[in-house]
Amino acid sequence: MPLFEKLRGAGKSPPRVRRLEIVSSFLGSLAGMALLGWLHKALADPAGQVLLIGSFAASAVLLFAAPKSPLAQPRNLLGGHVLSAIIGVSIGLALPDLLWLSGALAVATAIAAMHLTKTLHPPGGATAFIAVAGGPKIVGLGYAYVLCPALSGALILLGVALLANALTPGRRYPEYWW
């Protein structure tokens, strides 16, 4: 097949999203990220913990803007973040002085492990990387990073996603649990 024929559809744009979908995505992600931010400021930070990490913003995109995606389902959200956090912390502890290698290994290993366990969640790659390169406060958490922020933050986002998607007519979330 000539290259031109393969690229023929490349000029098309995706279909428009209904306004209700846009509003629901906006309000759901706003609520989820605001709740995480407020809990971080009010509870986690004063206790020397972290609840707000960058990979949760990417999870919010999947949960609130693409809730039908297999990558947004609870198994993937929870399993992807927790497994990736375990891998990131483990590799960070094993190779603390080789950030260029530990970061790359954490992401690559997390991807392979998520594939093997059917828990692929792209933000999990960032969760693994943050465990290695997130700075002294995050690295200093060690395996506590798995529980807070990885698991607890993902559970909070899941709760908000269940509520927000249930309140949106025509949406069903999750498509499957496990």
3-state secondary structure of 17: coil
Confidence band, pLDDT 50/70/90 cuts, at residue 3: low
C-beta atoms surrounding 4 within 10 Å: 8
Give, as one character, the DSSP assignment of residue 57.
Answer: H
Confidence band, pLDDT 50/70/90 cuts, at residue 6: low
Of 134, 156, 111, 112, the residue nearest 54 (C-alpha): 134
Q: Give the start-to-end residue ranges of the domains of the chain.
A: 19-166
pLDDT at 178: 84
- At 61-98, the pLDDT tens digits run 999 999 999 999 999 999 999 999 999 999 999 999 99
Distance CA 52, CA 157 (A): 11
Does the reported pTM lie above 0.85? yes
